[in-house]
Structure 1
Amino acid sequence: MDGNRRRGLVIGGTAAVAILAVLFAVVGAGRVVDALLASDPWLVAATFGLALCWLIAWSLMLRTVLGSLDVDLPVATSFLVYAGAVFANNVTPFGQAGGEPVTAALIAKVSGSRYETGLVGIASVDVLNVVPSISLVFLGVGAYAATAAIGERLEVAVAVAVALIASIATAIALGWRYRRELVDRLPAAVGGLLGRLRRFDAAAVETALATRLRNFFEDIERVGTRPRRLAAAVGLSLAGWTLQATALAVAFAAVGSPIAPEVALFAVPLAYVAGATPLPGGLGGIEAAFVALLVPTTGVAAATVTAAVLVFRGAVYWLPTLIGGISVSALGIDAMR
């Protein structure tokens, strides 16, 4: 782990702990603990089981996308690789943005494919996950609006999520529209900049970057030519989101406060917007976002909401982090490289 990554992890981890400490202080740590101790162990186990099913669904999604790139992974290997991807996202700042390079290296190592191919595979999974998530947000909010008034907090959360996703989609579209210009001009600009430092050979950097960019865009084009695989991947993405929403609903049932299914449908993707913060896997920020969304929309006490969110996050954050950490360690990939 280099110094910059170590500092980033320490700062992000400290911020996450601080946010969680403030959250517990506001809602009452004692009441949260009491709610957790009184939770139904079978429903807690069911929450973890649903999280495992979500992990399987999205690992199959990754396998499907990689198949369109002629990278064939066994089902068990794809599960371990995707768990490793979640681990990398959860221990690096900015979530997927920080974890994708590690995941690409992991895919390349286990499959013998190019690094760029692995990067396209995991990036495609992240992009394809956007469509079902937005659909579930609007479906859930629409169903909720039919029975209750939409509060200002929910309106702001939806607006922020849509704006963020629209910005990402616009950046991706512009990158694709001007991909040839990027391949022609970016390597020379980067090579010239790094060439001013004695440790870099400008010509070598330019050649290597041009090759990687060319391979990257060629692989993206290959993904787009397999519509059936893309449709299957989107279906698996939708299944994964639904399993997570179900896990959240079961977590609330575990602490004795069932919630409407439509609330879980929009809460999960909306709260994950906080994962774009410089926190390891959004830790702290996502929990706070869940509480901020769910207290006014469910009418459940803040301490009980926090307890349910902790059960849910234990299933979808800590369980995959444990499995993925073991996977990444066994395969010899440094997640903080």
Structure 2
Amino acid sequence: MNATSVRLTTVAIGFVVAAVVLTGMLALVGFEATFAAIATADRLVLASLLVVVACWFGVWAYTLSVVLGILEVEHTPVDAVVLFGNVVFANSVAPSTYLGGEPLAALLLSRYTGRDYETGFAAVASVDLLNYAPMLPLAGIGLLYVVTTAVVGRTVEIALAFVFLVLLALMATVVVGWRRRDRLLTVAAVVLGGLSQKMDAVVPGVHAVSPATFERRLGQFAANVERVSGDHYSLGLSLVYSTAGWALLSGVLWLALYAVGHAVEPEVVLFVVPLGAVSNVLPLPGGLGSVEPVFVVLLVAMTGITAPDATAATLLYRSGTYWLPLLFGVVTVAVANVPVPRPTN
């Protein structure tokens, strides 16, 4: 079994597990009541939902365009949309979403643009970090709202506060790690080089990569990320657009709830959407099977709506923000594999 078949098997297993989880959730909530709520959803509101989804996609595609511009990767607005579709595809099929999808997304980006893999990985990693950066303050605002106004029970409040503290600790770890990146890169190169040499001895088809080569490539990656972080104006602009993306995603959930007959406070969706995204770190493709139960539990606890209605709204939200972008990503990946002529200097 080669590496490609192993990856495909991992993706397939992830989708099977997600399907089992979703089926179990629907069985617990009630298939008939959930699909009845979906069937009676307001069609005009659903059309508006699709418009907001398109705006979210365009906003985050522009964030990628800004990062590509900093790295001097030649591209057009259409290229940015195609490349962001590739990123969404990779994050939607890989386990643990961003953690698992970045290597594939970087490969697709480097092939399409003709730039080296390290530049592609730096672009993808920077965009993911920028897009996730507003998640913590938005979740904090929502948590403050929950603690001060919503009646969800002391146990739920403690659990939500714990999740927020974990997010804060992760962000702090990233900041500290970046400040000590030179030492960490050296250690990572030694570890990866040693693992590569051991795998070369026991796994057919795997070629050893020396620690020096790893250190050079990691150094190039870090240098590209430094270029992105050093352009303060463009970085601030990217953060504005990434925050707008979260607001639009929250708007999609609000419209999904409104479509099934519930107008909730904006603070609720501003909290539920970023907090639900935390479950993307689980080894499931695009958070499929992990995001949905989190959304349903939070919506029922915070708004008091019925579980079938919360499930229906969640499925409508995920249809617009997961399944449609995934299908679009399939198209952009196919486009990206077509040779694109690049201007020569």
TM-score by length of 1: 0.91
Task: Map residues 118-267 of structure 1 onto 2, 5 A cutoff.
Answer: 118-151=120-153, 152-163=155-166, 165-196=167-198, 197-198=200-201, 202=208, 204-267=209-272
Identity %: 34
Task: Tell me what 1:29 maps to.
Answer: 31
* Deviates further, 265-274 or 134-143: 134-143
Task: Tell me what 1:86 maps to.
Answer: 88
Q: Distance in 2 between matches of 1:92 and 1:129?
A: 18
From the superposition, tell whether residues 222 and 312 of structure 1 become closer, same or farther in structure 2 (CA, over 3 Å): same
SS in 2 for 1:80: helix
RMSD (CA atoms) = 2.0
Q: Distance in 2 between matches of 1:247 and 1:193?
A: 44
Cα displacement (A) at 1:146: 4.4
Q: After superposition, what is the alpha-carbon deviation per residue over 1:78-127, rounded to whole angstroms, capped at 9, x for unaligned?
A: 11211211111111111111111111122222222221112111211222
Cα displacement (A) at 1:42: 1.2
Cα displacement (A) at 1:188: 3.9
From the superposition, tell whether residues 188 and 300 of structure 1 become closer, same or farther in structure 2 (CA, over 3 Å): closer
Task: Tell me what 1:325 maps to.
Answer: 330
Cα displacement (A) at 1:211: 1.9
From the superposition, tell whether residues 201 and 147 of structure 1 become closer, same or farther in structure 2 (CA, over 3 Å): closer
Q: Distance in 1 between matches of 2:197 and 2:295?
A: 47
Q: Distance in 1 between matches of 2:157 and 2:329?
A: 33
Instruction: Say whether the 8 Å CA contact 1:251–1:312 is kept in structure 2.
Output: yes
Q: Out of 270, 275, 280, which is 1:275 matched to?
A: 280
TM-score by length of 2: 0.89
The amino acid that maps onto 2:281 is: A
From the superposition, tell whether residues 183 and 146 of structure 1 become closer, same or farther in structure 2 (CA, over 3 Å): closer
Cα displacement (A) at 1:185: 4.3
Q: Out of 283, 291, 294, which is 1:286 matched to?
A: 291
Q: List runs of 5+ in structure 2 lacking aligned partners.
A: 339-345
Cα displacement (A) at 1:144: 4.5
* Deviates further, 102-111 or 179-188: 179-188
Q: Out of 48, 51, 64, which is 1:49 matched to?
A: 51
Q: Distance in 1 between matches of 2:186 and 2:262?
A: 58
The amino acid that maps onto 1:328 is: V
From the superposition, tell whether residues 183 and 144 of structure 1 become closer, same or farther in structure 2 (CA, over 3 Å): closer
The total of aligned residue pairs comes to 331
Q: Distance in 2 between matches of 1:192 and 1:22?
A: 43
The amino acid that maps onto 1:39 is: A
Cα displacement (A) at 1:179: 2.5
Task: Tell me what 2:341 maps to.
Answer: none
Task: Tell me what 1:6 maps to.
Answer: 8
